[in-house]
A and B are shown apart, each in its own frame.
Chain A
Amino acid sequence: MNDKSARSGCVPTAELLPELALGILGGTERADVLAHLDRCAACRDESAAWAATVDALPTVLADQEPPSGFEARTLERLRADRDRVPRRSTVQRVLMLAAVVAAVIIASVAAIRIIDARSDTSSSTALASARMVGNGGKHAGNAFMTSGSEHYVFVDVDYGVKTGIYRVESVDSSDRVTALGMVAVTAGHGAWAGELPGRATVGTPRMVRLVEPGGEVLCVAKFGRAAA
């Protein structure tokens, strides 16, 4: 859209796009930028150009010889994964939790209550996770949801989705769709965290999905009955 309100947001948006591409923009600034990108194609193009700049940055870091045996250990790990050996290494668990925490920090939403929910196993609040899959079952990332008196939802996109701005939606058991917010994916990475609106208007989500600006569903995370 090229109406006046969209254009008037271009200047403040442009100033923040480098921080967005670096993945360090949070809070209301992030929300404002994402809202503008959702309706301004010119700034979306600009955002993609910044993402390309950020993508190139790690290539300047110097090589280093890994410890001896690294190659063999890595290949063994790939083989184990290929043979569908169901194991999740400690670092994978740490990274999954780190992704949740990063999503929460970036979104600046109810961080302490969410982290409490994660660590307090005795309470009725629990954290359920579900893989987000795209077309053809392709892995796109993970979604997390707390259960209990309130629902918090986290979405962590993980290299399976191309650069862009996507709507986060929940779908409840009676197929009611609720727009939760927007997530920016740059350099294969994007995270979103937020609270579901009150129970009166939204049922327990059975799925969380990412939707393109055009309305096409990109990927879906389905939560089982036990999760909700």
Chain B
Amino acid sequence: MWVVSDDALLDGLATGDPDATAAFVERFQRRVFGVAIRIVNDPRLAEDVAQETFLRAWQRAEAFDPRRGTVAAWLLTIARNLAIDTVRLRRVVIVDPAEILDRREPTGERGPDDLALLSSETERLHAALGDLPPDQCRALVLAAFFGRTAREISESESIPLGTAKTRIRTAMLRLRAALVDDTEASE
């Protein structure tokens, strides 16, 4: 069966084609909702965030730049930022940072771009996260998925500010290295 690429679906979304719009939502809803629910930890709020994500994707589809990354990364980054905006004002992170990285079997339809990516970039990133020392992983999750600053992390983890900054930076260096290795290996 012919499978439409993510980029082509996004183009269809941008032009307002009803079939492409429905296919776009169908293809990405589980991933968008997955990002939203893991960060906000509340089904109703997660649905609001996920709907808003699709609305913004539709409004900003023309701003998508394929040279900068995949449609999935772009869309999930919108979801991540919206979810962080809604939880940033909560004083306490109510989710166990380690738990949001729990892996389940992917569900539903995936496009050809996803299938290629799953075996490379995302897998490499996930493996790199799994290899991080737990302290670094916690700091990274708090920063990347809950928008916590180094100062906030130093306070919640009861560690010096310099230690919090080092944990974030070291974790990020390892993740970036994993992505670079991946690019080189696939070329």
Cβ–Cβ < 8 Å partners of B26 in chain A = 71
Could you say which of B55, B175, B179 contacts A77, with CB atoms under 8 Å apart?
B55
Cβ–Cβ < 8 Å partners of B73 in chain A = 55-56, 58-59
Give the size category of A's interface with B: 35 or more
Q: Counting CB contacts under 8 A, is B160 at the interface?
A: no
User: Known: A62-B103, A75-B21. Contact between A82 and B16, CB under 8 A?
Assistant: yes
Decide if A78 touches B74 in the complex (CB within 8 Å). Answer: no
CB A43 to nearest CB in B, in angstroms, measures 15
Q: Counting CB contacts under 8 A, is B104 at the interface?
A: yes
Could you say which of A22, A65, A75, A101 contacts B168, with CB atoms under 8 Å apart?
A22
User: Known: A53-B179, A67-B43. Contact between A74 and B101, CB under 8 A?
Assistant: no
Q: Counting CB contacts under 8 A, is B97 at the interface?
A: no
Cβ–Cβ < 8 Å partners of A138 in chain B = 62-63
Could you say which of A55, A82, A95, A105 contacts B68, with CB atoms under 8 Å apart?
A55
Decide if A59 touches B125 in the complex (CB within 8 Å). Answer: yes
Most buried by B among A18, A77, A81, A91: A18
User: Known: A56-B179, A59-B122, A158-B56. Contact between A95 and B82, CB under 8 A?
Assistant: yes
Cβ–Cβ < 8 Å partners of A189 in chain B = 77, 81
- CA of A81 to CA of B13, assembled, Å: 13
Cβ–Cβ < 8 Å partners of B25 in chain A = 71, 74-75, 78
Decide if A55 touches B69 in the complex (CB within 8 Å). Answer: yes
- CA of A55 to CA of B69, assembled, Å: 8
Decide if A50 touches B33 in the complex (CB within 8 Å). Answer: no
CB B78 to nearest CB in A, in angstroms, measures 6
User: Known: A64-B37, A91-B52, A95-B52. Contact between A81 and B63, CB under 8 A?
Assistant: no
Q: Counting CB contacts under 8 A, is B91 at the interface?
A: no
CB A62 to nearest CB in B, in angstroms, measures 5
Most buried by B among A24, A158, A160: A24
- CA of A105 to CA of B33, assembled, Å: 27
1/0 per residue, CB under 8 A from A, across B108-144: the answer is 1000000001000110011001000000000000011
CB A164 to nearest CB in B, in angstroms, measures 11
Cβ–Cβ < 8 Å partners of A99 in chain B = 85
Decide if B89 touches A61 in the complex (CB within 8 Å). Answer: no
- CA of A159 to CA of B25, assembled, Å: 19
1/0 per residue, CB under 8 A from A, across B8-39: the answer is 00000000100001100110011101110110
Q: Counting CB contacts under 8 A, is B156 at the interface?
A: no
Q: Counting CB contacts under 8 A, is B163 at the interface?
A: no
1/0 per residue, CB under 8 A from B, across A20-60: the answer is 01111110000000000000000000000110111111111
Decide if B34 touches A62 in the complex (CB within 8 Å). Answer: yes
Q: Counting CB contacts under 8 A, is A19 at the interface?
A: yes
1/0 per residue, CB under 8 A from A, across B57-84: the answer is 0111011010011001110111111101
Cβ–Cβ < 8 Å partners of B35 in chain A = 58, 61
Q: Give 9 nearest A-B pairs by CB, closest first.
A: A58-B76, A18-B172, A66-B33, A63-B30, A91-B48, A64-B34, A159-B60, A98-B85, A58-B80
15 contacts across the A-B interface (CB closer than 8 A):
A15-B169, A19-B149, A23-B147, A59-B117, A59-B125, A66-B29, A67-B47, A78-B55, A92-B52, A138-B62, A138-B63, A139-B60, A159-B63, A162-B65, A188-B63
Known A-B contacts: A77-B51, A81-B55, A161-B63. Give 12 more (CB < 8 A): A18-B173, A59-B73, A62-B102, A64-B30, A66-B30, A71-B26, A73-B51, A77-B55, A95-B86, A98-B89, A139-B59, A188-B77
